[in-house]
């Protein structure tokens, strides 16, 4: 396989898997459509926000369309709170009260063509999670290093299939990048965002942390199998395939989640804690 084709395939496969992982994650905005009288507007329901401010939701809707949000703290017996949307020119704006780090709200959006209309269009419920800000000087290197690790993991697998290439140097790059991205920068990002450095196995159920651990284990095995100068192609191919499969698991799935039972039960109090 020519070098240009080799790296083209590696980049395309990596980009496709990263895109799929991100788009299917529980914190990616939920795209919905709503409208009246044959006119349909597309907009997004946010599912991630920072603790520094209320989460804002914007709906393109010309007058006299009106609407409201119904929300409550996630996995609590709280009553639903109804919050009217505020008109700003040709759009309606709603706000969800900020929560402590890892706090979640479940909410739904409701629209109707006018104040006297009995026709109501409602969205499915969405869950939004709040996080503390992560500085760019940490987040950007983390994303770059993790992407590079995924790229070299894919390149390792392709090299294992190509008898003219030795996959061992790709394996070493993969091990190093996954270690730095997943076990140095990753925990720092997690600490900034949610106050804990590690939430995966064996202390928690965060699948993002756990899948990084599983992938790293397979790459350590692949590196050990090739330590005496052997290409260890079956081990490398297995590690590459496992990495590809587990990184298709949506990002942030079963991530950090605040236990509201350990906080004041009034949602207004919780919203004011930060």
The pLDDT tens digits of the residues spanning 196-230 come to: 999 888 888 888 899 999 999 999 999 999 888 88
Give the per-residue pLDDT at 69: 96
What confidence category does residue 274 fall into, taking pLDDT thresholds of 50, 70 and 90?
Answer: very low
In this prediction, residues 87-114 reach a mean pLDDT of 94
In this prediction, residues 100-105 reach a mean pLDDT of 95
Res 266 pLDDT > 70: no
**Mean pLDDT of the chain, nearest integer:** 90
Please write the tens of the pLDDT for every residue from 161-203.
Answer: 998 899 999 999 999 999 999 999 999 999 999 999 998 888 8
User: Across 61-209, where does the E strand assignment appear?
Assistant: 66-73, 81-84, 86-88, 91-96, 104-112, 121-122, 126-131
Q: Where are the domains of the chain?
A: 3-25+134-246, 30-131
Q: Where is 144: in which H helix or E strand?
A: helix 136-161
d(CA 41, CA 34): 6
Six-digit token string for 109: 């959006």
What confidence category does residue 106 fall into, taking pLDDT thresholds of 50, 70 and 90?
Answer: very high
Res 269 pLDDT > 60: no
Contact 120, 111 (CB under 8 A): yes
CATH entry, 30-131, from 3.40.50.300, 2.60.40.10, 2.40.50.140, 2.60.120.640? 2.60.40.10
The residues facing 270 across adjacent strands are none
Taking CA atoms, 250 is separated from 13, 18, 28, 96, in Å, by: 16, 9, 10, 25
The residues facing 41 across adjacent strands are 34
Which DSSP letter does residue 79 get?
A: P
Give the per-residue pLDDT at 115: 83
Res 110 pLDDT > 90: yes
Please write the tens of the pLDDT for every residue from 221-257.
Answer: 999 998 888 889 999 999 999 999 988 887 777 778 8
Res 119 pLDDT > 80: no
Res 265 pLDDT > 70: no
Q: Where is 32: in which H helix or E strand?
A: strand 30-36
In this prediction, residues 31-50 reach a mean pLDDT of 83
What confidence category does residue 34 fall into, taking pLDDT thresholds of 50, 70 and 90?
Answer: confident
Percentage of the residues of the chain whose pLDDT score is greater than 70: 94
In this prediction, residues 60-87 reach a mean pLDDT of 93
Give the per-residue pLDDT at 261: 87
Contacts with 132 (C-beta within 8 Å, 6 or more apart), sequence order: 50, 51, 101, 192, 193, 194, 195
Res 60 pLDDT > 70: yes
């Amino acid at each position: 396989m020519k070098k240009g084709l080799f790296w083209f395939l590696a980049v395309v496969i990596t980009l496709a898997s990263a895109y799929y992982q991100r788009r299917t994650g529980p914190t990616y905005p939920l795209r919905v459509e709503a409208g009246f009288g044959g006119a349909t507007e597309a907009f997004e329901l946010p599912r991630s926000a920072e603790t520094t401010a209320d989460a804002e939701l914007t709906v393109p809707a010309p007058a006299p369309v009106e609407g409201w949000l119904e929300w409550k703290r996630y996995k609590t017996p709280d009553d639903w709170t109804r919050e009217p949307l505020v008109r700003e020119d040709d759009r309606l704006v709603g706000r969800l009260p900020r929560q402590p780090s890892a706090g979640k709200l479940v909410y739904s959006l409701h629209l109707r063509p006018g104040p006297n209309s009995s026709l109501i269009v409602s969205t499915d419920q969405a869950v939004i999670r709040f996080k503390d800000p992560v500085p760019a000087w940490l987040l950007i290197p983390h994303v770059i290093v993790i992407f590079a690790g995924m790229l070299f993991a894919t390149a390792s697998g392709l090299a294992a299939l190509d008898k003219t290439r030795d996959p061992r140097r790709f394996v070493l790059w993969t091990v190093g990048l996954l270690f730095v991205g997943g076990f140095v920068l990753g925990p720092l990002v997690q600490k900034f965002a949610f106050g804990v450095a590690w939430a995966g196995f064996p202390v928690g159920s965060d699948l993002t942390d756990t899948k990084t651990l599983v992938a790293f284990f397979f790459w350590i095995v692949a590196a050990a199998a090739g330590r005496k100068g052997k290409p260890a192609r079956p081990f490398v191919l297995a590690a590459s395939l496992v990495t590809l499969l587990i990184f298709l698991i949506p990002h942030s799935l079963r991530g950090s989640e605040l236990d509201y039972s350990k906080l004041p039960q009034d949602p207004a109090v919780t919203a004011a804690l930060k």
